Structure 1
Amino acid sequence: MRDPLSKTIVTIQPSGIRKFFDIVSEMKDAISLGVGEPDFDTPWHIRDEGIYSLEKGRTFYTSNSGLKELRMEIAKFLHRRYGLEYDFNKEMMITVGGSEAIDIAMRAMLDPGDEVLIPQPSYVSYYPCCILANGTPVIIELKAENEFRLKPEELEAAITPKTKLLVLPYPNNPTGAVMEKSDLEAIAEIIKKHDLYVLSDEIYSELTYTDNHVSIASLPEMKERTIVINGFSKSHAMTGWRLGYACGPEIIIKQMLKIHQYVIMCAPTTSQYAAIDAMKNGDEDVQKMREEYNGRRRYLLHRFKEMGLECFEPFGAFYMFPCIKEFGMTSEEFATALLNAKKVAVVPGTAFGDCGEGFLRVSYAYSLEDLKVALGRIEEFITELREKKDSTKTK
């Protein structure tokens, strides 16, 4: 029989995140710190609005770009929070999560041979989405000594005449790194110099723990070069509602909308009605969740310091990225051994790119009680590893 499979799709590896999630789901008394999903329920007033929309029979298709009222509220939110100005009719569309927005943005912008700069470690979807859009991914390896920020010299060195798009994944999954305004200003000059475009994934923008998040689209002459990706999954604990949005130049959004029309039609109607209330009345909920995450963040930093486990201080998202190079194990070996020995699941850093080797992603989107138990088990594990290492040296 003829091979039924696409040669392109066969080359793409499954997500390294899901592997450990699937294992731990079958393991009794295991604690997972591996999945990037808020442990909070969607705030009740948001759920109630979704329920009300169903009771009123609002089960129809919306316009392809999404409910007008939702787009209007998102425009108000972006202006209020980040100083961004978008025409909700021409420069915005509602998507099925931020993931769809990433996919269709690349498909709308890339021709075969166009190079896409992808800083890593970073979210697992950028690389395969680039491949599926016939682009050529070019990896920029970020460094722990720079707190995993993208430096101007790293960007400049990666650019070729074929470079078209830079993925800017901040606040960052898996490292928790952020880019401050001065960092963005430095790379913006290089972007303009080389006439590049930016896909700025800002899904964790509301989960920053110092100053407010700064979008590169807010800088001079950058709005017309930037597609901003955002959504409701992380900020409003709405992962299962599958709702995101993209904002950018009309010429790009128009083509993204064309793809969306043919493969999706529209984002879930019930979710869109719920999201209207999230935009109108959800700021206080987000603040409370952010404060809770920040408390957990500080706790993990304190515990890792007590253990002597090297970890830079992340100021965004809800992840830690501790270094485990001292143990002479690969990230995969360490994570597997930890799971088998202590029933704690974390994600190997290599799930987010080869330069994640020697690191682990630890999510603190879990209750403080679970975190305390899990960190106690991790401490036992690394203490045993160090004792074993010391005893080998003395022999």
Structure 2
Amino acid sequence: MGTRPLLNRRLAGMGSTIFAEMSALAVATGSINLGQGFPDTDGPREIAEAAANAVLTGRGNQYPPGPGIPELRAAVTEHQQHWYGLSYDPDTEVLITAGATEAIAAALLALLEPGDEVIAMEPFYDSYAACIAMAGATRVPLTLRAPGFRPDLDELRALITPRTRLLLINTPHNPTGTVLTPEELRGIAELACEHDLLVITDEVYEHLVFAGAHHPLAALPGMRERTVSISSAGKTFSFTGWKVGWVTGAPELVAAVRTAKQYLTFVSAGPFQYAVADALRLPDSYFDTLRADHLRKRDLLAEGLAAAGFEVFRPEGTYFITTDITPLGETDGLEFCRKLPERCGVVAIPNVVFYDNTEAGRSQVRWAFCKRDDVLAEAVTRLRRL
């Protein structure tokens, strides 16, 4: 085997994720896990029953169609039309994936070649860096800086080079909670059109917006034909383990993504696809209640974190809160998070792992508030020990 490392050098330093490390630490110490972003209660019972019924009646137990079952593709198009006035053809402009994670991987692997540059807003979700690396492309960070975490469109313009192939946009943004405004989206769209760039949008928190509203980039002039829009069921319906996501876009873009996707998982989540089709057709009141519940949880945890001495950047969307530990006399978020379980029995995630410009995020820590109220209240009580 010689001296060459076993792991592909493009993935050097990506051996295990911070989520795995911190979740293991939570188990080992019996801590409350506000690190990894998964709910501690399941989604609607009728949707769980729809999945069970699909299994028991033999729907989806064998390979579903490559693009996804027709019922779910139709439900995705109805959802896009109902919420955003976007019309898509369920047969040629929708692709069902193994969660948004696979959608992102398939899109990046399909659309990038070695030497291409991808501009992504940092801090960025960790799979972005890995997938860009696997495609042989180069990531170029557009840094969102505290306290506002707004994208600087002049900086974005300056980052674009002849090698720029693609913009990777995440709104509502994990981990900062920033929701891009119509003006910011217009500015991004104009740059994409001017430089003939492709755009991938990660919109998995689309129904968890507390200030303003979610506006899909694909709805803007000139963007439909160049945008791969991605979302998923996990965050909206609290079934993160089902891994059902979707891509919408122009036929040639979806065909490209599908080409890569078919060699990743081929197909997935057969019975769950039927249940998610039902979930997407839940009444608007479901989505309103989801948003209201998470707004209450956000405020409960934000007030507790402020009382414990953190600088709190109250998010406009998602189910994460970013804080700064500097007021506690700390500067190293990674060290802080590794010691926090022993100090007070709570686990969080250091934002520095989501940055290339590590100085911009060194003292930031992210907390998930998609937990039961009693769990959040207990976490707040424990954090008072700081």
The interval holding the TM-score normalised by the smaller chain is: over 0.9
After the TM superposition, which residues 340-359 of structure 1 pair with which residues of structure 2 at under 5 Å, given as runs? 340-353=342-355, 354=358, 355-359=360-364
Deviations 1:354-375 (A, max 9, x none): 2321110011011121112212
**CA–CA distance in structure 2, aligned partners of residues 361 and 16 of structure 1:** 12
Report the TM-score, using the length of structure 1 for normalisation.
0.92
Q: Distance in 2 between matches of 1:274 and 1:239?
A: 13
Deviation of 1:210 (Å): 2.5
Q: Residue 37 of structure 1: SS of its match in structure 2?
A: coil
Q: The residue matched to 1:144 in structure 2 has which SS?
A: coil
| Match of residue 374, structure 1, among 368, 373, 379 | 379
Q: Say how many residue pairs are matched.
A: 379
Q: TM-score, normalised by structure 2?
A: 0.94
Higher Rg: 1
The alignment status of 1:221 with 2:226, answered yes or no, reads no
Matches within 5 A, 1:241-252: 241-252=242-253
Structure 2's unaligned 5+ residue stretches are none
Q: Establish whether residue 306 from structure 1 lines up as the match of residue 307 from structure 2.
A: yes
- Distance in 2, Cα, partners of 1:5 & 1:31: 33
Q: Percent identity?
A: 32
Contact 1:118-1:127 within 8 A present in 2 as well: no
Which amino acid letter does the alignment assign opposite residue 27 of structure 2? Answer: S
Tell me how far apart the structure 2 counterparts of residues 41 and 11 of structure 1 sit (CA, whole Å). 34
After TM superposition, the structure 1 = structure 2 runs for residues 328-347 of structure 1, keeping only pairs within 5 Å, are: 328-347=330-349
Q: Which amino acid aligns with 1:375?
A: V
The 2-side partners of 1:282 and 1:45 are apart by: 13
CA offsets per residue over residues 315-372 of structure 1, 9 Å max, x none? 1001110111232330011112221111110111112112321110011011121112
Match of 1:156? Answer: 157
- Which structure 2 residues correspond to residues 98-137 of structure 1 after superposition, within 5 A? 98-137=100-139
Distance 2:181 2:93 in 1: 25
Could you tell me which residue of structure 2 aligns to residue 389 of structure 1? Answer: none
Query: Shift of the alpha carbon at 1:285?
Result: 3.0
Find out whether 1:89 has 2:91 as its counterpart: yes
Mapped partners of 2:159, 2:10: distance in 1 = 24
Q: Is the deviation greater in 222-231 or in 367-376?
A: 367-376
3-state SS of paired residue (1:263): coil
Q: Aligned residue for 1:141?
A: 143
Match of 1:280 in 2: 281
Q: Which moved more, 1:284-293 or 1:361-370?
A: 284-293
Q: Matched residue of 2:229: which SS?
A: strand
Deviation at 1:159, TM superposition (A): 1.1
> Does 2:366 correspond to 1:364?
no
Residue 190 and residue 5 in structure 1: after superposition, are their counterparts in 2 closer, same or farther (change >3 A)?
A: closer
Q: Deviation per CA, 1:107-144, whole angstroms, max 9, x where unpaired?
A: 11001100001111121110111000111111121111
RMSD: 1.6
- d(CA) in 2 for partners of 1:32 and 1:262? 35
Q: CA deviation at 1:308?
A: 4.3
Map 1:39-118 onto structure 2 (within 5 A).
Answer: 39-58=40-59, 59-118=61-120
Q: 8 Å contact 2:205–2:318 — kept in the other structure?
A: yes
**What amino acid does structure 2 have at the position aligned with 1:91?**
E
Q: Note if contact 1:236-1:286 (Cα within 8 Å) is conserved in structure 2.
A: no
Which residue is equivalent to 2:178? 177
Gaps of 5+ in 1: 382-395
| Aligned residue number for residue 20 of structure 1 | 22
Amino acid at match of 2:213: N
Q: C-alpha distance in 1, partners of 2:189/2:326?
A: 34
Contact 2:29–2:342, Cα closer than 8 Å, also in 1: no
- Distance in 2 (CA, whole Å) between partners of 1:301 and 1:347 is 16
Contact 2:203-2:231 within 8 A present in 1 as well = yes
Contact 2:73 2:95 in 1 (8 A): yes
Hey, what's the Cα distance between the residues in 1 that align with 2:208 and 2:305? 21
CA contact (8 A) 2:107 2:260 kept: no
Deviation at 1:263, TM superposition (A): 2.7
1:376, 1:117 → 2: CA distance? Answer: 40
User: What one-letter code is carried by the residue in structure 2 that aligns with 1:197?
Assistant: L
In the alignment, which residue of structure 2 is the partner of 1:294? 295
Helix, strand or coil at the partner of 1:329 = coil
User: Structure 1: which amino acid aligns with 2:209?
Assistant: T
- Name the CA distance, whole Å, in 2 between partners of 1:330 and 1:378: 18
Q: Which amino acid aligns with 1:84?
A: L
Query: 1:65: Cα distance to partner?
Result: 0.2
Indicate conservation of the 8 Å contact 1:94/1:245, yes or no.
yes
Label 1:306 to 1:262 Cα distance change in 2 as closer, same or farther (>3 A): closer
* Aligned mates of 1:7, 1:302 — CA distance in 2: 44
1:28-39 map, 5 Å = 28=30, 30-39=31-40
Distance 2:50 2:190 in 1: 44
Contact 1:21 1:35 in 2 (8 A): yes
Q: Give the distance between the partners of 2:44 and 2:347, measured in 1 at CA.
A: 28
Bigger drift between 150-159 and 160-169 goes to 150-159
Instruction: State the Cα distance separating 1:13 from its structure 2 match.
Output: 4.1
| 1: CA distance, partners of 2:301 / 2:168 | 29
Partner AA of 1:357 in structure 2: R
Equivalents in 2 of 1:5, 1:159: separation in Å?
31
Question: CA offset at residue 289 of structure 1?
Answer: 2.3
SS in structure 1 at match of 2:299: helix
Amino acid at match of 1:285: Y
Counterpart of 1:322 in 2: which secondary structure?
strand
How far apart in 1 are the matches of 2:20 and 2:338?
13
